[in-house]
Chain A
């Protein structure tokens, strides 16, 4: 058997959720059976319930944000300040998300760049390289690490990791300081880079778990066929495992990115935030959406909270764009996936 390239006959698109005649016919000639009808109803019902909840949350956020944005005297997208109480402007709210967009994207990119190769490496290690007796416990420990609450990562990051990074940063500054990105002026290394490293460690288990699960699903005959042709282990992986698992890896990375983008308490614990944008990722400063929400939330008044919600809404949009991009990549590689979706 080879990789299925023929997709089942495509049904005509259904205009809405109701079981139109086309859909009923498509539901595999079995929609007449009561079991099928009930099951379809149940699963579609769940989808609708989920949709209802999500739409309610989105509507709620949009409403609260609009309240906040109406009174913002700064430009919400380009202002480098966060002052919804108007301390510096004499009572007029003045806030914007420029710094947060920058910090969130930079720290998440750092996290992904570090975490994805390592996670795929570990996943391959568990699924293809490790001795069998070792693989299961390792997989289990990695699973476990996904369960460590972020506050513990935060504690550990601030107490154990950050003090150990000074040496690495000075070294990066010595050799790559000229790029401007790796400039380091000393001081406690509570920078976007540190956040990125910590986030990488935090999302590692998620990406590893999902990728491993995907690698284990690679049809055995594909690999065996390649091996029989005399391929080395790496060639097997490159030719049959990775193409098969690509959409899974991307999906796993997106799950990880979702956590990285929205990570709150760990970032707030290790970052030394400030409302500036700088080229260097090693010097302290910057901020992320979730960190800013966590830091400002408890002391914010009602309007301040609305302003923070507005920033949360932007985080949504960013996540949405990222997810959309991922969906497109996956769709393009669909022929490798064995499913009919």
Chain B
């Protein structure tokens, strides 16, 4: 009897929770209002939701989360039967979940490795996985040096700073690039991501690509150089830079705000290039396609000579099976991807701080999506 009482207590709590939750369902709402209604419904009318319905699972890069949010807001206005769940838990987790067959597509900041494509044949049945570049974004180099409002650096200096060769802000190499700035003698606190991340991958790829002599380390998702502070996630790194005078680090452009200034990059062009959305698009336009067949993996040119091309740029790919992986989600996937690759879809990106994919590459992406069946 006492046992029953104990269990009854647990049961009461559990039942209370469940029934309470169910009762509450009646008063909760998914309707969060339509903030800029006119624009949305206008664009929404062009979205084709043929056969799109149900829940669409996707996961991967956190870098494109805001873009996905904006797309979903538009897309849901047209196709209200679709529920899109994008979980921003990292490119690697996205690819793993995709290869295990849990998701319809993955978002990744780096293209698939050959062995991953090989693995994908299992989940894609008769085809294999492909990369579709969908979103671009500049990786800003943010710094916190009181009294220095603009700073120009080049690839070699950056590599030396992050490799602990240049230790103070008034180092000759920095002074030479910034003759007008009043550089203090404080110690440089170079900071990096403590977790593995596509941002680190792309940043170190740039250092290796643009200054191979100064950056001896292999590029990768985890930081391999010794020394330096580190923090979890882009938000953590941004916080670290904000709190620490003399700090410098790399982060997606949208995190570089509230007291963090960004470095202008000296490239092969005449003028130093600012980290902006437009400049990132220009850099992507300079890249070449290295993927085979329908795969559209890009290789960025890290030593661009074009004016205003900002080479520390990250391209996020949507990864999916050449012929779709599951019958019941294929129509939904196709409909959603068609929208995000469309002119309207790409036009949303700029407002969110992302760089649209240049038309030439985008055309190929659209063709590939059309061929999904």
Answer yes or no: B26 CB below 8 A from chain A CBs.
no
Complex CA gap A302/B191 in Å reads: 28
Answer yes or no: B89 CB below 8 A from chain A CBs.
yes
Answer yes or no: B239 CB below 8 A from chain A CBs.
yes
Complex CA gap A158/B229 in Å reads: 14
A269 adjacent to B232 (CB under 8 Å): yes
B230 adjacent to A299 (CB under 8 Å): no
Q: A87-B224, A88-B224, A274-B230 are in contact. Are A302 and B196 (CB under 8 A)?
A: no
Complex CA gap A284/B189 in Å reads: 12
Most central of A83, A158, A272, A296 by chain B CB within 10 Å: A272
Scan A174-212; emit 1 where CB is below 8 A from any B CB, else 0. Answer: 000000000000111010000000000000000000000
B222 adjacent to A83 (CB under 8 Å): yes
List chain B residues, Cβ under 8 A from A298. Answer: 89-90, 92-93, 195-196
A188 adjacent to B92 (CB under 8 Å): no
Q: Smallest CB-CB separation from A273: which chain B residue?
A: B194
Question: Which A294-337 residues have C-beta < 8 A from chain B?
Answer: 294-302, 304-305
Scan B93-135; emit 1 where CB is below 8 A from any A CB, else 0. Answer: 1011001000000000000000010000000000000000000
Complex CA gap A186/B189 in Å reads: 10
Answer yes or no: A39 CB below 8 A from chain B CBs.
yes
> Count of chain B residues with Cβ under 8 Å from any Cβ of A?
38
Complex CA gap A300/B221 in Å reads: 9
List chain A residues, Cβ under 8 A from B219. Answer: 87
Question: Which B57-88 residues have C-beta < 8 A from chain A?
Answer: none
Most central of A42, A82, A268, A276 by chain B CB within 10 Å: A268
Complex CA gap A186/B247 in Å reads: 12
List chain B residues, Cβ under 8 A from A304. Answer: 92
Q: Smallest CB-CB separation from B200: which chain A residue?
A: A299
B232 adjacent to A299 (CB under 8 Å): no
List chain A residues, Cβ under 8 A from B92. Answer: 298-301, 304
Complex CA gap A168/B366 in Å reads: 59
List chain B residues, Cβ under 8 A from A269. Answer: 232, 236
Answer yes or no: A19 CB below 8 A from chain B CBs.
no
Q: Smallest CB-CB separation from A287: which chain B residue?
A: B194
List chain B residues, Cβ under 8 A from A305. Answer: 96
A83 CB to closest chain B CB (Å) equals: 7
Could you tell me the dominant secondary structure of chain A's interface residues? mixed
Q: Smallest CB-CB separation from B244: which chain A residue?
A: A188
Contact pick for B196, options A39, A88, A296, CB 8 Å: A296
B237 CB to closest chain A CB (Å) equals: 10
Scan A120-145; emit 1 where CB is below 8 A from any B CB, else 0. Answer: 00000000000000000000000000
Scan B209-249; emit 1 where CB is below 8 A from any A CB, else 0. Answer: 00000000111111010111111100010011001100100
Instruction: Sample 10 A-B pairs with CB under 8 A, ordered by A number.
Output: A83-B222, A88-B224, A187-B189, A274-B228, A274-B230, A296-B195, A297-B93, A298-B92, A300-B96, A301-B92
Binding site for B on A (CB under 8 A): 39, 42, 82-83, 85, 87-88, 158-159, 162-163, 186-188, 190, 268-269, 271-274, 276, 284, 294-302, 304-305
Binding site for A on B (CB under 8 A): 3, 89-93, 95-96, 99, 116, 187, 189, 191, 194-198, 217-222, 224, 226-232, 236, 239-240, 243-244, 247
Other A-B contacts than A188-B243, A296-B196, 20 sampled, CB-CB below 8 A, are A39-B3, A82-B222, A87-B218, A87-B224, A88-B224, A162-B243, A190-B231, A268-B232, A269-B232, A271-B194, A272-B230, A295-B196, A295-B232, A297-B93, A298-B90, A298-B92, A298-B196, A299-B196, A299-B197, A302-B96
